[in-house]
Amino acid sequence: MEQIQRFSAAELEKFTAGVLEKVGLSASDASHVAQLMITADLRGVDGHGIFRLPQYVQRIRAGGINVRPKIRVLEDRLSTAIVDGDNGMGHLVMSRAAEVAIEKADRTGIAWVGVRMSNHAGFGALYAEMPLARNMIGLYMAVASANHMPPWGGVEKILGTNPLTIAIPAGEEPPVVLDMATTVVAYGKVKTYKLARKTMPVGWMIDRRGEPITDPNRSDEGFLLPIGGYKGSGLAIAIGMLAGLLNGALFGRECIDFNADDSSVTNTGHAIVALKVSHFCPVENFKLQVDAAIREIRNSERMEGVDRIWLPGEKEYACLLDRRANGIPMNPNLRRTLNDLAASLGADPLPDK
């Protein structure tokens, strides 16, 4: 069996940016997208990291993404706006939207920025966490880039895993970062299981008759299960309306499945909210209280056999520390896929280990 190799974030960013430049992104955009993608890998959210690069490239080459977008701010009001991404890479569009939200919230205490004409933007925490540095709380919602779920009681996949992210600043503790799909697992996780040839647990997916699917190669025959049954389905609907319909982005059956169709404009919608802590209480007080709450939860009595109680986002922070120090592990299949991709574009391969 081939060994899993580890790469530094800098190595993977350089590789990713090199590939993205070859398909037409400006050097600065390529580097920006690469940095955001590899942050997902650093956090252990591999389903949103470099693993996505071949798909992004395929889409760009098929003309499905505008590599030189003119991202515009529309409906520009005191505390709200719409960002039109001009079909650019979602990472660029959402970064801009988060910046707009933060600027506005800094003046008024809160801003809600809707996004249309975007694309898959990867790991939601990237954007929800941007307000943290300014002592703001961040909320992020998105219409997922494929429909993997029927409404509760249905069998037609007309809903996405529409995720919700909430980032709350802490003091000495890592921030609380809840980043959840409205399904029991995100589809990216199914993809990583497929690539790693692993069997999925019962409870992730069912087929049209409600029977469990555990073979990731059969994922096309069924659909992801929502969290809490009708609740997760309802949350996916509400998020789809807020992040999609409200902004003039697609929701429901109209959504483009970016796994099946590389060239149609996805008109992906997102929403980001920034909320200024100091409008509610002194920032230092709040951080002390969040730290205390984190510690109370972490140190509370555990169920037999449980080693540790994790706060939302804490595992990802632990992974970040590990991977910054020891590198990001990559399975040989993915490494080969990435090097083949680079070769086909005349981009530099991953460093030899």
Residues 1-60 that bind a second copy (CB under 8 A): none
Backbone φ and ψ of 224, nearest 5° = -70, 145
Question: Is residue 342 within 8 Å of 350, Cβ to Cβ?
Answer: yes
Does 230 help bind a second copy (rule: CB under 8 A)? yes
Shortest distance in whole angstroms from residue 197 CB to a second copy: 25
Does 231 help bind a second copy (rule: CB under 8 A)? yes
Residue 225: Cβ within 10 Å count? 23
Does 114 help bind a second copy (rule: CB under 8 A)? yes
Q: Which amino acid is at 222?
A: G
Sort strands 205-207 and 176-180 into parallel, antiparallel or unpaired. Answer: unpaired
Residues 142-161 interacting with a second copy (rule: CB under 8 A): 150-156, 158-159
Q: Which residues contact 322 (CB under 8 A, 6 or more apart)?
A: none
Ranges assigned E (strand) in 55-118:
72-74, 80-84, 110-118
Supply angle C-alpha 337, 343, 345, rounded to 5: 110
65, 111, 143, 328: residue in contact with a second copy (rule CB under 8 A)? 111
**CB of 31 or CB of 147, closer to a second copy:** 147
218, 302, 336, 353: residue in contact with a second copy (rule CB under 8 A)? 302
Does 172 help bind a second copy (rule: CB under 8 A)? no
43, 120, 270, 276: residue in contact with a second copy (rule CB under 8 A)? 276
217, 259, 289, 326: residue in contact with a second copy (rule CB under 8 A)? 289
Does 110 help bind a second copy (rule: CB under 8 A)? yes
Question: Is residue 86 within 8 Å of 69, Cβ to Cβ?
Answer: yes
Question: What is the size of the binding site for a second copy (CB under 8 A)?
Answer: 75
Does 83 help bind a second copy (rule: CB under 8 A)? no
Q: Which residues pair with 137 in a beta bridge?
A: 275
Retrieve residue 289's tokens.
């209280």
Does 309 help bind a second copy (rule: CB under 8 A)? yes
Binding part of the chain for a second copy, among 8-16, 248-256, 257-265, 330-338 by CB under 8 A, reads: 248-256
* Measured distance CA(50)–CA(284) in Å, rounded: 37
Does 241 help bind a second copy (rule: CB under 8 A)? yes
Does 180 help bind a second copy (rule: CB under 8 A)? yes
27, 211, 280, 332: residue in contact with a second copy (rule CB under 8 A)? 280
Question: Is residue 85 within 8 Å of 119, Cβ to Cβ?
Answer: yes
Supply angle C-alpha 270, 272, 277, rounded to 5: 170
Shortest distance in whole angstroms from residue 274 CB to a second copy: 11
Does 61 help bind a second copy (rule: CB under 8 A)? no
Nearest partner of 179 among 206, 152, 140, judged by Cα: 140
Sort strands 268-276 and 136-142 into parallel, antiparallel or unpaired. Answer: antiparallel
Does 318 help bind a second copy (rule: CB under 8 A)? no
Binding part of the chain for a second copy, among 35-43, 302-310, 331-339, 340-348 by CB under 8 A, reads: 302-310
Shortest distance in whole angstroms from residue 37 CB to a second copy: 24
* Measured distance CA(352)–CA(191) in Å, rounded: 26
Does 195 help bind a second copy (rule: CB under 8 A)? no
